[in-house]
Amino acid sequence: MQVEQLTNEASILGEGSLWWYEQQKLLWVDILAKKVHLFNPQNNQNLSFELPEFVGSVVCRKQGGLLVALQSGFAHFDIETQTIVHKNEIEPSLNRLNDGKCSPEGRFWAGSMRIDELFNPPNGKLWVLDHNWDCRKALDNISISNGLAWSLDHKTMYYIDSPTLKVSAFDYDSINGNISNRRTVIQYQFGQGFPDGMTIDNQGMLWIADWDGFSVSQWNPNNGSLLQTIKIDNAKDITSIAFGGNELQDLYITSSSKNGNIDGKNSKGGMLFRIPNIGSTGIKHFQFDDHRN
């Protein structure tokens, strides 16, 4: 399977890939460089927008602009003027928001972790930003909050707390944005890396970025089985994945260089990759539905 390298300058901690379908461009972030990137596959141009804090993830706003999960909280980012329009601070200074996504009805979910990455005891939370910008805690005692996805019928939310080596599923109430009935649907084994970012294809199968695994993997959440593993040579820490392209037929992949290349096996860490025509098709991204105005 062909893996294309799309960038030549390594990100420190690439994350948060999201296919902006209306623009036919890829949004992604470099958390530690405090940047939102916008990659145009038509000309391979990668624009960068600097933000005042660490930025864990980015989503589109239905009414225009973007929302970002910053170190201290959620913010509305106007990409045209490159300014923060509105901000909702929720996290203490030792934490930062990390991976996040919008739910089908348009709420913004993002979890937190310690900036120093210590997670014993677990200090993170999973937050949900409602349409009116009220923010509430959905989960506590999280180690390193990461991937999120929703089933095709929107009745199940999938969630990753990376050090647990598990993908959890919850019953999802889209009317109130509540989760319940937590259970494990995927269990990683030693040597498979740590589950990081996550997306879902149009058959309801989960695709997961494997931190410390040199790979992305496809799983069946209905029975927990591993369907396939795709190796990304010389990129040890794979962080997020997103389907893109006109038919959502390509898989975009972010990675990290922050742990260095001491053993010579992470020479492509931090690069952005693409696997064209991967054989599965994604679904369109969900947008934040802002009722503030």
Q: How far is the C-alpha of 207 from the C-alpha of 242, rounded, in Å?
A: 9
| Residue 196 annotated to the active site | yes
Q: How far is the C-alpha of 150 from the C-alpha of 191, rounded, in Å?
A: 27
User: Among the options 99, 161, 196, 290, which is catalytic?
Assistant: 196
Give the C-alpha distances (Å, rounded to integers) separating 148 from 153, 200, 269.
Answer: 15, 9, 23
Q: Which of 173, 52, 170, 69 is nearest to 111 (CA)?
A: 69
Instruction: Name the 3-class secondary structure at 3.
Output: coil
The amino acid at residue 61 is R
Q: Which of 209, 201, 217 is nearest to 283 (CA)?
A: 201
Locate 44 and state its tokens: 């391979």
User: Which residues are catalytic, by number?
Assistant: 196
